[in-house]
Structure 1
Amino acid sequence: MNTRRFLHILCMACTMLSLPCLVQAQGFPSRPVKLVVPFPAGSATDMAARLMAQQLQSAMGQSFVVENKPGAGGSIAAMEVIRSAPDGHTLLFSSNSAAASNVALLKSMPYDPLKDFSPVAGIGENMLVLMVKADHPARTAQELVAHVAQRPGQVSAGYGSSSSQVSIAVFNRIGKVDAQMVPYKGIPLAVNDVLGGVVDFTFVDLGNAIAQSRGGRMRALGITAPKRSPLVADWPALAETLPGFDITAWFAVLGPAGMPREVVDKLHGAITQVLRSAEAREKLAGIGIQPMALNPSELRAFMASEVSKWIRLVRESNIQPE
C-alpha cells in the first residue's frame, strides 16, 4: 500500500470515529436538560440556576429544568450528576461546596471533583453577609464579637453551605470567640431560624441579604469580601474590623466525566453568550452575583486552586471534617 493511500484510509477512519460525536453535538440538546442544584429553593445557587435556565432555554431552544437536591453539603446532587449519562442532558449547577470545599469538610468524600466532572463554564462569584435579626443588640461586627465573648457557649450561628460554615469558623477564629455552629440544608433555613430566634446570627448570600435588609427584618453587619462592594457601599467589609476576613463563594456548571468535547463546547458557547448579555448581567447583579466567565480548561485549573484554598481555610479555622 502506498503512502498516499494509507493516509487517505487513516483520514477516513478518523472521520468515521469522530462522526458520532459530531452528530451528537449537532443534535444536542435533543430533550430537556436537567440542572441539578445542591441547595434548596431560595438559595443563591437556586436563584442563579433558575435565571440561567431561563436564559439558556431561549439561547438553545430546549427546556432547562432546575431540580433541587439539597443535603450533605452538595454531595447528593453531585453524585446524581456523576452517575448520569455523560451526554450533556444532566448537569450540576454547582457552588464551591460541591466542586471544591467538600474535599476539606467531609471525612469520606464519595467523589473527586477534579476527576469525576467535565467542567463546562464558570458562572459567577458571590459574597456573603453577616446578619442578625433587626432587633438584635449588636449593630456592628465588633459589637457582635463582644456580645459572643460575653456569653461563652451561649450564642449560636446557623450555616447552610460550606461558605457560611467556614465564615462562622473564621469569625470565631479572628474574633477569638466561640459561637456554636448549627447546620442547615440551606441558608434560607438558617435565615428562618435567625428570624425565629432559634439561632443568633448567620452568613447570608448577598442577594438574600439585600432582600432581608430592605424588608426590615434583618440587619447587615458586614460583607465577607475583602473590600466594600458598590452594590452595598454602606455595608462595611468585615476585614475592616476583623483583619484577614476574605471569603467568596462561586458557581459553575459541571457535567459528568466523559462528556464529548463537542457537547461541552456547545454548552460553554451558549453560557458565554448568556453571560455577555446586558439582561443576564443585570439580573445576576440583582441577586448579588458578579459574572465569572471561565472556559472548561480555565475552570478545571480554578477548581484545583480552590480545592487547595478551602483545605487551607478549613485547617486554619480548626473545622473537624464530618
Structure 2
Amino acid sequence: MKISHSLMAATLALSSLAMAQDNYPSKAITLTVPNPPGGVVDTSARLLNEPLARVIGQPVVIDNKAGGSGNVAYGAVARAKADGYNLLISYSAYHVGNPALTPSLPWEAKDFAPIALLTVATNVIAAHPSVPANNLKEFIAYLKANPGKVNYASQGNGSLSHIGTEIFKQQSGTFMTHIPYRGSGPAVADVLAGQVQVFITTPPSVMQHVLNGKLKAFAVTGTKRHPGLPNVPTVAEAGMPDFKLEAWVGLFAPAATPPAVVAKLTADVKKALDMPETRQRADAAGIELRYLPPDALGELVKTETAYWAKTIKAAGIKAD
C-alpha cells in the first residue's frame, strides 16, 4: 500500500504540532500590556509574570505596548502567531468598551481566546466636602433636588470613570455634568480644589485624601469593602444594590491557539495566582485576585459587552 506524499506530510505536520503542544512552553512567553507601566493593568501583569514563570519554568516577559486606547496592543496580539507565546493582558474598559465606542477597530472580540480572569479593582464614589451629603442616599437625594448643579470628573471621554458614572446616573435617576480630564491626576486635583465635585475612580487615586478628610467617600462600587477604606460601605450596603462598577483584567490568547495550550495556561495561571506571595502583593496594591476559567471569562465578556454598549448608546458617549 502506497502512502501519498501529501498524506505523509500532513501526518508529520500533525505529529510535530502534537509534540510542540506536549513540550509547551519551551521558550519565553510575552505578555502584551495595552497600558504604560503603573496602574491596575500593568500591576496585574506584574503580579502574574514572576509566579507564572516559576510555575512553567520559562521566562514571562512584559511588553508595554500603549497607544490608541489599547488598540495598538490588541491589534498586535490579534495578528500574532497562535502558539501560546504571545498573550494579551486585557483591560475591561478596552475589551468591552472599545467595540461600542469606535466604529472601526484593528481587532474583534472573536480574535481572542479567553484564558483566565486575573484581577478586579473596585471604584469609590468620592466627593468634595462641600457636597451637602454624608452618605449615598443623601447624595442621591441632593442630586435629584439639584439636577445639573453637580459636575463630575472622568479620566476622559469613553473611560471607565466616564461610562461608570453614566451607569450610576441612569440607575439612580440623577443628572450630573461631565467634565473630562486627561488622566486621574488632574481630575483629582480639581476635585480637591472644589472646581469639580465628584469623581468615581479607583481607590489608590483618592484613598489618602479620603483618610485625611480632604474628600468624602460615599461607597465603593464592588461586592465587598476595600481593605484600605474599611469604613466605607459597598453600594449594596449603602442602598443601591443593582449598581456595580469593577474594572477587570484578564489574560487572552489569539483565537486559533490550540485548546490544549489554553488548558495548560489556565491551569498554570491559577497555580500562580494561588501562591501566598502573589496574594500578599495583590493586597498591598489594593487589587483583588479573582480567577475565572476560560468559559466563565468568555461569558463575562459577552454580558459586559452588551451592558456597556447599551449604556454608551443611551448616554451618547463618543471616544475622543
- TM-score scaled to structure 1, two decimals? 0.78
Q: Report the equivalent of 1:235.
A: 232
**In the aligned structure 2, how far is the partner of 1:241 from the partner of 1:179?**
23
Aligned length: 311
- 1:291 paired with 2:286, answer no
Q: 1:151 to 1:295 in 2, by over 3 A?
A: closer
Q: Report the equivalent of 1:169.
A: 166
Within 5 A, what are the aligned runs for 1:32-111?
33-111=29-107
- SS of the equivalent of 2:200 reads strand
Within 5 A, what are the aligned runs for 1:210-225?
210=207, 213-214=210-211, 218-225=215-222
**In the aligned structure 2, how far is the partner of 1:313 from the partner of 1:170?**
6
* Structure 1 gap segments, 5+ residues each: none
Contact (CA 8 Å) 1:41, 1:68: kept in 2 or not?
A: yes
Within 5 A, what are the aligned runs for 1:1-322?
17-23=14-20, 26-31=23-28, 33-113=29-109, 115-132=110-127, 140-141=135-136, 146=142, 150=146, 152=148, 155-159=151-155, 162-173=159-170, 174-184=172-182, 186-187=183-184, 190-191=187-188, 194=191, 199-210=196-207, 213-214=210-211, 218-225=215-222, 228-229=224-225, 231=227, 232-239=229-236, 240=238, 242=240, 244-315=242-313, 317-322=314-319
* Range moving further from structure 2, 138-147 or 285-294: 138-147
Letter of the structure 2 residue corresponding to residue 76 of structure 1: V
Q: Identity, % of aligned pairs?
A: 28
- SS of the equivalent of 2:73 reads helix
RMSD: 3.5
- SS of the equivalent of 2:217 reads strand
- TM-score scaled to structure 2, two decimals? 0.79
1:79 shift after superposition: 1.3
Q: 1:230 to 1:243 in 2, by over 3 A?
A: closer
1:17 shift after superposition: 0.6
* Range moving further from structure 2, 204-213 or 260-269: 204-213
* Structure 2 gap segments, 5+ residues each: none
**In the aligned structure 2, how far is the partner of 1:128 from the partner of 1:284?**
16
1:182 shift after superposition: 0.6
Q: 1:164 to 1:89 in 2, by over 3 A?
A: same
1:169 shift after superposition: 0.9
**In the aligned structure 2, how far is the partner of 1:172 from the partner of 1:271?**
37
**In the aligned structure 1, how far is the partner of 2:130 from the partner of 2:66?**
31
